[in-house]
Structures are given as structure tokens and as C-alpha cells.
Amino acid sequence: MSTDSPAGRLVLAATPLGDARDASVRLRDALAEADVIAAEDTRRLRSLVAALGVTVTGKVVSHYDSVEAARLPGLLDAVRGGSIVLVVTDAGMPAVSDPGFRLVAAAAAEDLPITCLPGPSAVTTALVLSGLPCERFCFEGFAPRRSGERKRWLAELVAERRAVVFFESPHRLADTLRDAVDVLGPDRDAAVCRELTKRYEEVVRGTLAELAEWATGEVRGEITVVLAGSDPAQAPSIDSLLPEVESRVEAGERLKDAVAAVATATGTSKRDLYNAALAARNA
């Protein structure tokens, strides 16, 4: 890979979500010509280049979460020394819920050349397949693992007008959807996108209640969830917010603080919610 700059260059490249035929010509060239390839999983990289018929001539190093910080100095040194450093993850774009952000931030702080080879994205692919309004959307990364934290996170989305995209593991999907029913209500529209671009691609659309019931069966593969934005005409009821308040209290928050957080996130009257919480406790 040639460069007009005397310095090297950091290149972030999107890789196919599943079907190797989605690889761009620029990605093929970059894999063949890079001096260093920092790969989230070197085994997945070998599989990709084999499928593409590309011969890698540069040095390959692992670049996953646990070693990302340790790899930083060496990769920056390579760019400073004039090397082309290519960063790839298992699928999709580096730095989007995958390794890469630290390296980009450090290179940018030194004003080192950085570029990006665009390509597949599970976020935008799921959005357009969801069938939900997506002119405006936000991406939330992975849903929290613990139910209490997850419900607090979902409470922040109650009044979110934009479509919401997040990743989830298949073995936690059912629990997450049940929590979403409790916090966001059973009638909020959503879509679960599974194994995007792969042989067993599946998109299941429906209300949260319908999707929670569907997910009680065995679900496998890479999961991306899309939630419809909130409808301002359908404000959440006070009663529907009480479980989230109680969950926060059980996690150690004072009642007033829990009420304030939930009320602010949902646009609900703090006084009404506080009174309802007290009444529920005394019932």
C-alpha cells in the first residue's frame, strides 16, 4: 500500500459480517499490502484472507480487548516509523464495540495519518431490515449483563424518540427482552436480527411482548436488536415505572434519588412518581 506521506498510516477497515463476498476491493488490497495487520482474532483473519484468496505479506499481531493497551506502543511506533498498520475486527467496523478506539485516539493525539476503509456494519444493516422508522437513531453497544443494571439502562430509553440499536448475546436475549417488556412496556415495537448476511439470517419483528415469547426458545448466533423510538402520545404510566424505582432502591439508591432518575429519564412528574412509590411500599 503506497502513501505520499513520509510517515506511516493507521488504517481502520470494516470486514464482512459473515459473507466474504461483501469485502471491498480496497479491503483486499489493504490486507495484501499492509506492513502490519492488527486483528481481533488472528484465526478469523486467516479464514477471511483464505476465502478472499489474498496473500498476507505483512506482520500479523493479535489486537483483542485484553491486549489492546499493551499493543498500543508498538503499533504507534510502527506508524511513526513509516509502516502501514491495518486494524480489523472479527466483523464490522473497528472501534464500534470492538477494539480500535484507544489506538485511534492515541494516533489522533499525535496527529498521525489515519484513514478508514468503509464497509459492512451490523448497526445500519439491522436498522434498515427492522422495518422501523430509522431517520434518527442511537447506538448503545452491548446491553448490560445484570438485570438490575439492564433495567436502569432501559429506563433511560423510555422517552428516547430515536430508534435504538444494541447488541446482545443469544443466551441473554430472552432475559433482556423480558426486562424490556417490564420497563418499556409490552407494546413497543422492535426487531431482533440474527446472523446478518450469513446462511441462517433471520429478522423477527413484533412487539416486545411477542419477541420475548419467541426468544424463550433456543436462539443462536450474532444478535442485533432494534427498538422503535418512543411515541410521545403514549407516555408511560406511573405504575409501569414503579418496578424500575424499586430495582434502583434494592441496588442501594435512596428512594428520592431513584425516583428522580426515573422521572427525569421518562419525563414523568417526580412528585407523582414519589407518591406512587410510597403508596406501593405501604400497601
Task: Write the pLDDT tens digit of every residue in 98-135.
Answer: 999 999 999 999 999 999 999 999 999 999 999 999 99
The pLDDT, as a whole number, for residue 235 is 66
For domain 123-227, give the fold: 3.30.950
The pLDDT, as a whole number, for residue 244 is 81
The residue with cell 425516583 is 259
The pLDDT, as a whole number, for residue 6 is 54
The pLDDT, as a whole number, for residue 205 is 98
Do the domains at 9-120 and 123-227 have one common CATH topology?
Answer: no
Residues in the chain, pLDDT under 50: 1-5
Domain ranges of the chain: 9-120, 123-227, 238-282
The pLDDT, as a whole number, for residue 251 is 85
The pLDDT, as a whole number, for residue 234 is 66
168-193 pLDDT per residue, tens? 999 999 999 999 998 888 999 999 99
CATH of domain 9-120: 3.40.1010.10
The residue with cell 478506539 is 101
